[in-house]
Structure 1
Amino acid sequence: MSQAFTSPTSYILNCSTLLTELPVLERAQAAKDAGFDEVEFWWPFDGNPTPTSAEVDEFIDSLDSAGVALKGLNLWAGNMAAGDRGMVSIIGAEEDFAANVAIVVEIGRRTGCRAFNALYGLRTDGQDAAGQDATAAANLALAAGKVAEIGGTVLVEPVSGAEAYPLKRYADAAEVVGRVRADGPENIAVLADFYHMHVNGDDVPAVIEADAANFGHIQIADAEGRGAPGTGSLPLRDWIDRAYSLGYTGSVALEYKQDRATAFDWLDRAAQTA
């Protein structure tokens, strides 16, 4: 990894996997205190697709007061704590999803956020897989059309740790993106989460060689364990450098899980050895 990637300011900090010892509204300031200028969040409103305007104001105020930029935001993903992994493909949730997209666009308009991750959702008992995929395509097209109004991009990612989540490898997510693009919207891309891809059996270097220039976003964590870089065996520095050398132009987000006290020790070590 180049010298540029030894500083917190080189990365986006995911405040939904890190700094979780703190309330959501305190995490932006904690990120700033740790040296980060850019952050991303999963949907920060406890599974509620339509928070009140006051709740949205509080969230945006926490970013503004900390002086950090919101660079990524997940769309409503259901009740993550209860096991949900997105609502894009859930038949019957279309009205709530559309209402959520409207709020997401408003947050993007007010914060400058332009990257919006749409978790696909689980295969659900009593719902036909083909029907779920059709629902997902319609919802993703709707979201892409709405965020296009502010220059935004919808992201679709492979996810590990949930057997009923159908997009496990990069190609699965890329197929969904291609299906939506075939019907018109171009502002949709794959989120290349190197941890999820590796855990699910992807040949990550091969994917990078084939498609790095088309990645919509990169997220990283080490494996095994989903901890900080250096806690596992993945050559994350090499993968990031190679993606950039092959035409990737986006950012890299830290979406690992580690206690606040030690979460950023690896950056100090990287700076010392750079």
Structure 2
Amino acid sequence: MGFADQRFTVNLSILFTELPLLERPAAAAAAGFAAVELWWPWVDSPTPERPALDALRKAIEDANVQLTGLNFYAGHLPGPDRGALSIPGEASDRFRANIDVAAGFAASLGCTALNALYGNRVDGVDPAEQDALALENLVLAARAADRIGAIVLVEALNGPESPRYPLVSAPAAVGIVDKVNEATGLGNARFLMDLYHLSMNGEDLPSVIEHYTPRTGHVQIADNPGRGAPGTGSLPLADLLDRLTKAGYDGRIGLEYKPGGTTGEETFAWLPETARAAR
């Protein structure tokens, strides 16, 4: 098995960033990809004007690529923020204002996975207060996602790079998934298994795959160390993806790695074109 037997989606918020946003879907298509995913593209606005939404939608449609994943508003990412939904005040308000906008944009392109980054801990705020707010907002997000036939993803990040983010293990993220599903009864909250972040946390990746694949809605990869393309670090990514397949995961694999100074075909030389184009 290996990379050639998987289906991939390329993250346009970390790859092809040498190009303006509206040119990236076509660049992904030119590199052979049939699917793309995005962090929330408008970091300063949870509710961008209609022309901005329409322009990105048209760029994706014109490139004939499928949008497979979209983040809800998460603040400045990349940057100091790691989400907004657990932060009281303006950040939480901005997340709530974004829920229907993000869900509507996703629905217009047939996207059925929405990632809800939890947000950093805030000095002077009781973590229990933040967790209660997070659950309220995740319930709202899950209900909005359900209305468009989508899932809500909850992601574990890594402690070394995100020291104020509370979900830095697979069990922590899956625990939130379970709370959301219990609160809504919808069952559409799922774990986003990012193998790079989990490896940075020192987790036993085969064990994570064995235990949490049934609750996983999406998988993302980058090599470690360096967060580069597969083969630039020491993670046995081909083997890990084989394990995921054997454990029952049949979704796409999100490419969320840093290109390391390469562009175009060089960035994806490790990946057979048949795997890029698989729908």
Give me the TM-score of the superposition, normalised by structure 1: 0.93
**Structure 2 residue matching 1:70: 3-state secondary structure:** strand
Q: Which residue of 1 aligns with 2:270?
A: 266
Partner of 1:170: 170
Say if 1:47 and 1:80, in contact at 8 Å, map to a contact too: no
Partner of 1:191: 192
Aligned twin of 1:20? 17
Change (3 A) 1:237 1:81: closer
Q: Can you give the 5+ residue segments of structure 2 that lack an aligned partner in the other structure?
A: none
Could you tell me whether the CA contact under 8 Å between 1:72 and 1:113 is conserved in 2?
yes
For the pair 1:64 / 2:65, whether they are aligned, the reply is: no
The residue that corresponds to 1:33 in the other structure is 30
Once the two structures are superposed, residues 131-178 of structure 1 have per-residue CA deviations (whole angstroms, 9 ceiling, x without a partner) of 000010000000000110110100011112110011111111011111
Give runs of aligned pairs for residues 204-223 of structure 1, distance below 5 A: 204-223=205-224
Where in structure 2 are the equivalents of 1:147-158 lying within 5 Å? 147-158=145-156
Contact kept in structure 1, 2:142 and 2:152, CA below 8 Å: yes
Q: 2:88 aligns with which of 87, 91, 114?
A: 91
- 2:47 — aligned with what? 50
CA distance in 2, matches of 1:172, 1:267: 32
Deviation at 1:213, TM superposition (A): 2.3
* Superposed CA offset, 1:156-210 (max 9, x none): 1111211001111111101111111121231101100000000011111111111
2:113 to 115, 123, 126: 115
Structure 1 pair 188–3 and aligned structure 2 pair: CA distance change class (3 A):
closer
Fraction of identical pairs, as percent? 46
Residue in 1 that maps onto 2:72: 75
Q: How far, CA to CA, are the matches of 1:2 and 1:267 in structure 2? A: 10
Q: Tell me the distance in 1 between the aligned counterparts of 2:136 and 2:117.
A: 14
Q: What CA distance in whole angstroms lies between the structure 1 residues aligned with 2:95 and 2:52?
A: 18
**Which residue identity lines up with residue 211 of structure 1 in the other structure?**
Y
8 Å Cα contact 1:42-1:74 kept in structure 2: yes
Letter in 2 for 1:53: R
- Which residue identity does 1:190 align to in structure 2? F
Alpha-carbon distance in 1 for matches of 2:272, 2:35: 18
Unmatched tracts of structure 1, length 5 or more: none
Tell me the C-alpha RMSD between the 2 structures: 1.7
Match of 1:125 among 123, 126, 149: 123
CA contact (8 A) 1:5 1:11 kept: no
Task: Kindly tell me the number of residue pairs found equivalent between the two proteins.
Answer: 268
Contact 2:3 2:272 in 1 (8 A): no
Quote the Cα distance in structure 2 between the aligned partners of 1:200 and 1:164.
14
1:67 offset after TM fit, Å? Answer: 0.8
For 2:257, the equivalent position in structure 1 comes to 256
Q: Which amino acid aligns with 1:125?
A: D
